Amino acid sequence: MSDLSMMGGETDLEALAHPQALFKMLRDAGPVVDMGPDMGMMLVGGDAEVRYVLQHPEIFSSGVDAVVIGQVRPLIPLQIDPPHHKNFRRLLDPIFAPKQVALLEDNTRTIVRNLIGSVAAEGHCNFHSLVAEPLPTTVFLKLLGLPISRAKEFIALKDGIIRPPVKTTEEREAAVKETGQKIYAVLQEAIDERVAERQDDFLSMFLDAEVDGHRLTTDDVLDIGYLFFLAGLDTVTASLDCMVSYLARHSEQRQRLVEVPSLIQHAIEEMLRWESPVQGVVRITTEATEIAGCPIPANQVVTAMLHSANTDERAWTDADTIDFDRAENRHIAFGGGAHRCLGSHLARMELRVALEEWHQAVPSYSIADGVELHYSQGLRSVDNLELVW
């Protein structure tokens, strides 16, 4: 086991934009990398090792102790481990099944066209704020049953959890806790309205649902809603940011999508592998264990680096080549094992529709002169994605 504590320091813009070299250094350092006492975590970066962590939740728990993001109870189903996890997935998986997601495509396409229509004639835009952010926000708020008129307020709350604007650990914990209470209040208000009168949305559906023969409690619905609030409003935005910023800088790849729109679906999978907006997932060990001979104590925070696994040269042919024609693409950008991303089919549909409509309306674009893109740490979004065409 190696100590790579220098990776915990400040990272420059270039490394945030192109972290693949840093991940190779992580893998070369060893199967398990101890980040030192200040960080208090170990990193796992190889494809085989990351998959092992994801596939053994009995050892590498996703429970509430792994990540605290303002919640007061475990987030459902993310922080419920097997065997109870499967009961909630039986309820939630059908809602996000491909057939159900397909029913949402026409409405999603209308939303995308309206967003693009508002900027296409301008010749420039901040793609993040005017397309990538409002698209999944609008789609998911409608599904969840929260008012779209409050979208900016909800985005600010989401960012207050995922990207709190504070530096010290104490300030961060206090800010996240306060923001978490505000999210609970928003959800509780909506749930109270649905208790009085059901509507055609997820919250109403959850209030009438049963798990293992029992109705969901109000707290259960709150805990599902809290997770959906964060995941539904951010991960597709981050993915679109990463993909469009890549295509803006690689005109030959972009032109292929314009000429052959059917290639977009394959391109999405390859850009998910290469860009991996969700760079890692956190687990905590339930017992002392080891990976590839490296000992890991009990109650140890372990981060499985999805992005590193997706670019591991030992697992991928031409790992550093972005190949839209890649024949087999078993990336784990959506995680793996029991806790694999619940909304992966919805995310793929939103990404495909967005890229289809964008490239039909704006086939040629680039990063505005003088702009150095600012990729956020952790969940990789690009809030200064200034495009010109």
For the segment 118-156, what is each residue's pLDDT rounded down to a tens digit? Answer: 999 999 999 999 999 999 999 999 999 999 999 999 999
**Contact present, 324 and 266 (Cβ < 8 Å):** yes
pLDDT above 60: residue 247 = yes
pLDDT in tens, 213-227: 888 999 999 999 999
CA distance 290 to 319: 27
Q: What is the pLDDT confidence band of residue 342, given thresholds at 50, 70 and 90?
A: very high
CA distance 260 to 257: 5
Residue 5 token pair: 């504590």
Structure confidence by residue, pLDDT tens digits, 286-319: 999 999 999 999 999 999 999 999 999 999 999 9
Q: Assign a CATH topology to domain 2-388.
A: Cytochrome p450 (1.10.630)
Note the pTM of the prediction, 2 decimals.
0.94
Show the beta-strand stretches assigned E in 187-251: 210-211, 214-215
Write the DSSP string, 137-202.
Answer: HHHHHHHHT--GGGHHHHHHHHHHHHS-S--SHHHHHHHHHHHHHHHHHHHHHHHHHHHHS--SSH
- The C-alpha atoms of residue 331 and residue 334 are separated, in whole angstroms, by 8
